[in-house]
Structure 1
Amino acid sequence: MKRLTLFSLILCTLSFSALSCDMVMGYRTSERLPLIAEHPNKQGLYFSLYQQALTNIGCTLTVIRAPKKRILKMLADGEVDLYPGMGYSLERDKYLLFFENGLMVNTVAISHIDTAEIHQISGMRDKTLLTAIGSNRSPINNDGIHLRQAHDVSIKSAFNLLVSKRVDFFLDDEAHIRYYIKLHPTKEIRFHPCCSTPQPMLLGFSKKSKYAQIIPNPNFSKLLPYSAKNSTQILSPISKAFAFKEALKKIKDNGTVTKLELFYYR
């Protein structure tokens, strides 16, 4: 009887391990309030959003913080499952799948207040643009823009460099910038009507994740540019990653995402 009880406990433990699901989100060490606090604090809109979606499909969320370049390597190797906000590029398409996370992003340019207003990327010619190492440089395709790259650029460090005129421009999400200015008022920063239009924010999901089963995309078209929706591979509908994708869509449709945004951007 004791042997049978012991066997049952072992079987239950193994079954739980097989069914347990803990997805790992990777992010750089610097803060991006209100999306995520500075390492080691993981709290913010990203954590609340993904934790809610994962809870709905019986999963938990673990957060790993490291320099972005290292996180990208971990994504490529399948050691990290997802990156919460990731711009699409052909290079990243090699090891990531992209889908919407329910948030919106509107990339704008900012500079010192003395800088003349620009309306497109080409207006940065012969100027210095601050970027993070490992960041997606799209839509920066123009020659003549001097890139100054730094590790894990925070909005605070970007503002300091702009105000001291050590760089000329910085690109970031408008809501993120305005949130920072609300907490740290300044009249030394200019917004420029450049360089994008509002669009859904994407997350990057590792193709080597144990939760991602990859299948050929039957709707892929060689006649169209590669994009998050026009890639050669997609998630299998039976994968846990696909369930996560659908859970994010559901909490957007039912208003949960809007409530989270109102709470964190208040």
Structure 2
Amino acid sequence: MTFKTGDKYPLMFEAPENSGVFFDVYTEAARRIGCKLIITRLPKQRIHEALKKGDLDFYPAASFSEKRAEYLHYIEVGITTKEYGLSSTKIPAIKNLSQLKEYPNLFWLMEANSSKSELAAALGIKTQQINYMNIEKFIKFVNQRPKYEYFYIADKEIFDTFLVNHKVTDLISHGLRTHTNCCGKAKPMFLGFSKRSKHYRAIANEAFNDKENVSATNQVSKLTTNSLVHRLAVALQNMKQEGVTEEIYNKWYPQPER
């Protein structure tokens, strides 16, 4: 498994510390298929270069994009996630990302090699890519550069963790508005497995619907049942059904003080 060097607690701590939800989930999944989990932390751009070549096997939570689908096969992890939009309070609540085009001085901040760059380009929204981005860094961008408007998408688990750690119920005190309905409903989290990995085996997916766009749930290929990656997918599915994944997630997910 590979992951970026930055912190994404509670999913994974900043390198070199690997603790978190991902470590526990994939360590157990690896144990179930007779393997040992080995983790390599790298900058995100180098990660995707390695995944394209098959030098590394998988990324634990990969957003879908058509470009990534050329070299990644998507497998459900067993965790439900959601995305929130963040901006300065000067931008009113939005319900669709296309509304960002109404602000000519706005830049969509995202990490380098983000899958969101394809979406931003399709919508005609200007972007600014940063090597590593989190909520704390975004707050500095907004408050130190009042001439421009900035937008950022944060995973719900990262957002909730920030609130708990800073003992706040929203981001208004930090000069930010939260757009909870801009980025779709809650959805399954998927890992991205390298199609060049020695553990990957696949055949044509007869259930593929060529009348719909390729997506994490509508892939051209499907895993062969005799492959290690298929055994990993089955282990993750079983862990979800048994409640093991939820138990691990709840152990790490911060709960607000009552």
TM-score (norm 2): 0.88
Match of 1:147 among 120, 123, 127: 127
Runs of 4+ displaced beyond 4 Å:
none
Matches within 5 A, 1:103-182: 103-125=79-101, 126=104, 127-137=106-116, 139-140=119-120, 141-143=122-124, 145-165=125-145, 167-182=149-164
| CA deviation map 1:237-265 (0-9, x unaligned) | 11010000010011111111111121111
- CA distance 1:79–1:167, change in 2 (3 Å): farther
Q: Deviation per CA, 1:133-178, whole angstroms, max 9, x where unpaired? A: 11111543311x2201111223322232234346521012122112
For 1:164 and 1:212, locate their aligned partners in 2 and report how far apart those are by CA, in whole Å: 46
1:263 equivalent to 2:251? Answer yes
- For 2:75, the equivalent position in structure 1 comes to 99
- Cα shift readout 1:70-92 (whole Å, capped 9, x = no counterpart): 00010011111000110111111
Matched AA of 2:129: Q
Cα contact 2:10–2:157 (8 A) shared by 1: no
Paired residues, what number? 241
Q: Which has the higher contact order (CA 8 A, sep 6+)?
A: 2
Q: Deviations over 1:89-121 (max 9, x none)?
A: 111111110011011111110112343222211
Q: Deviations over 1:20-57 (max 9, x none)?
A: xxxxx111111001101111111111111111111111
3-state secondary structure, aligned to 2:39: strand
Q: Greater shift after overlay, 200-209 or 172-181?
A: 172-181
Matched with 1:190 is 177
Which of 49, 61, 64 is the matching residue for 2:37? 61
Letter in 2 for 1:83: Y
Query: Does the residue aligned with 2:23 lie in a helix, a strand or coil?
Result: helix
CA deviation map 1:201-223 (0-9, x unaligned): 11100111111112111222322
Residue aligned with 1:31, SS:
coil
Q: Is the 8 Å Cα contact of residues 54 and 244 (structure 1) preserved in structure 2?
A: yes
Provide structure 2 residue ranges, at least 5 long, that are not aligned to the other structure. Answer: none
Q: TM-score, normalised by structure 1?
A: 0.86
CA 225–72 in structure 1, closer or farther in 2 if over 3 Å, else same: same
Q: For 1:170 and 1:263, how far apart are their aligned partners in 2? A: 27
Q: CA RMSD in A?
A: 1.6
Q: Partners in 1 of 2:29 and 2:150 — Cα distance? A: 39
Task: Give unmatched runs, 5+ long, in structure 1.
Answer: 1-24
Is the CA contact 1:26–1:63 (under 8 Å) kept in the aligned structure 2?
yes
Paired position in structure 1 for 2:19: 43
Larger radius of gyration: 1
Identity of paired residues, percent?
Answer: 28
